[in-house]
Structure 1
Amino acid sequence: MRILAPAKVNLCLRILHKRNDGYHEICTLMHQIGIFDEMDIELTEQGIDLISEGAEVPHGLDNLAGKAAQIFLQAANLDKGVRIRLHKKIPVAAGLGGGSSDAASVLMGLNKILKMRWSKEYLQSLGMSLGADVPFFIGQKSALAKGIGEKLIPVILPKNIWYLLLVPPWPISTSWAYTAYDELAENSRPKREIATAYSQIEDILPIMHNDLEKVAFQKYPELAIMKKKLLMAGARGVLMSGSGPVLYGLFSSRKETEEIAQKITLPSGWQALIAQGLADENN
């Protein structure tokens, strides 16, 4: 079975505090976008076999998608194996949720292949054991996530949102970003209530904030320079996604996005990607 696993961006990311168990309480608005990893999944007699093309990522059970297959088979009490061929197109360690999306897609794919008919909520509970972002990819295309990411509230976004992603040639470790943030000894609280419905892009702009930008920009000043360039080029809003380093600009049409992509000069090794925000069918 061929499955598409979408990337995501964070339209806001606020870190509230660090819990005693080491996790961080957050408040974040996430939106799935039209950049996809592709996965071919099939059942085998035994073992979890995962190989990747397109990027250097862990194989087998060292990969979150492989772990997802293992957890699914254990929950189903099935003595079978799974072979996954992963065609990696989402930039790795970039703040776009590719690993979490791959894991979520494996859970949903095996649910179909094995005709288990498990509920979305049960799949999300399995996903939570793999990572805080995994349940989001099993739910709506856009959602407000609270707690450590497990409390999901559906959000309605404008249909025509386009993103211009600027991808640096180096990764940022999520664990490093949160540790560096903790060392700042700064806790943030949402300055305004984050709504669950937005009728136009202009309504989103006031909430666009990422608490991890400060530590990322301190370590990589080039990010701050490129954020300013993208704003000056005409983006409605610009933000770093997740723990970075990808920056994105917000636009209302593909034409406008392509024009800015042509106009902006990228540093050596950077690449620009264009993606449309995904919408649920009933939105």
Structure 2
Amino acid sequence: MDEIIIESYGKINLSLDVLYKRNDGYHELNTLMQQVDLKDTLTLKEIKEGIIIECNNSDVPLGSANLVYKAWEKIKERTGVNKGIHIKIDKQIPLASGLAGGSTNGAAVLKGLSELWQLNLEEEELRGIGVEIGADVPFCIMGGTAYAQGIGEKLKKLKPFSNKLVLLANPGIEVSTAYVYKNLVLNKDKRVDIDRLIRYLEEGNLKGLAENMVNVMEEVVIKDHPIISEIKKDMMKYGALGALMSGSGPTVFGIFDDEEKMIYCRNKLSSKIKKIYMCKTI
């Protein structure tokens, strides 16, 4: 085998709480992560030496700043296998969107190289390598529905919350994750009730979950970018059961129980938002 094609799925945060800043500079999180079927497609082909990265989006870095490059470096370092790779990325997930577009590409390369090079690495091993690349990479390796703690690397797989209708709206603004964390005011007395949300997930209670989703990062982002709040309100107005910003933004997602409502909402939003995606959870 000298070539493999692998699909690289995005994620949303069904809820996100930031507990405190750790001694290592990272923040301790409580979050519910859910894979969605908006995806990039990566083609990995073995070459003699080095790495070549191609992408259909000219804004994607093609050097060491790209997580696929870091994934190739890390897996070589961990296994001692020193082979070249050509990676072609068909990028559909918008950049810097809160949908883990870079992380899921890194995860795809780890999984793809394990198969391509016949390393047969277990998922746990891949996740261990992945956390050295980025906080969301371990979840992107595992996929599905999960409760994540730590910086996002401590994962508990939950009952699948698949085939739920999700509308993604990306307003095309730049949001710095570092800026959001720096300006986030942590309220120790007001925590997101993650256990309650997990219960709704386990019960398949779509309405209960959608109506009680919380992302503590929204407050910082909405202050600078009120369009986030506008999109949320529009989604609710046009039929969503609930709407939330994913991660540090700026993408907003709405959860629907009816496809016609989702299509109606998409059509209404399309006059002011260009990047809109109708998805399902995986």
Q: TM-score range by the shorter chain?
A: over 0.9
Return the match for 1:277 from 271, 275, 281: 281
Match of 1:242 in 2: 247
TM-fit CA distance, 1:51 = 2.0
| Cα distance between partner residues in 2 of 1:120 and 1:154 | 13
Identify the residue that residue 145 of structure 2 maps to in structure 1.
142
User: Hey, what's the Cα distance between the residues in 1 that align with 2:13 and 2:111?
Assistant: 23
SS in 1 for 2:167: strand
Q: Which residue of 1 aligns with 2:173?
A: 170
Structure 1 CA distance, aligned partners of 2:23 and 2:48? 42
Give the Cα separation in 1 of the matches to 2:7 and 2:176.
Answer: 24
CA contact (8 A) 1:158 1:200 kept: no
Partner SS for 1:109: helix
Residues 242/55 of structure 1: CA separation in 2 closer, same or farther (3 Å cut): farther
Contact 2:171 2:275 in 1 (8 A): yes
The answer to whether 1:255 aligns with 2:257 is: no
Equivalent in the alignment of 1:122: 125
Bigger shift: 135-144 or 210-219?
135-144
Alpha-carbon distance between aligned partners in 1 of 2:112 and 2:258, rounded to the nearest angstrom = 32
Structure 1 residue 223, shift from structure 2 partner: 1.3
Q: Is the 8 A contact 1:160 1:252 kept in 2?
A: no
TM-score, L = length of structure 1: 0.92
- Cα deviation, residue 150, structure 1: 1.1
Q: 2:224 aligns with which of 219, 227, 234?
A: 219
Runs (5+) with no aligned partner, structure 2: none
Q: Deviations over 1:225-248 (max 9, x none)?
A: 221111111100000000000111
Unaligned runs of 5+ in 1: 279-283
Separation in 2, partners of 1:52, 1:10:
26
Counterpart-to-counterpart distance in 1, 2:194 and 2:101:
29
Q: Deviations over 1:31-50 (max 9, x none)?
A: 11011111111111111221
Single out whichever of 195-204 and 60-69 deviates more from structure 2: 195-204
228, 231, 236: which one aligns with 2:233? 228
1:281 paired residue number: none
Instruction: Give the TM-score normalised by the residue count of structure 2.
Output: 0.92
Amino acid at match of 1:156: K
Amino acid at match of 1:2: I
CA-to-aligned-CA distance 1:24-65 (integer Å, 9 cap, x gap): 000010111011111111111111221221250111222011
The one of 49, 64, 67 aligned to 1:64: 67
**Percent identity for Structure 1 against Structure 2:** 33
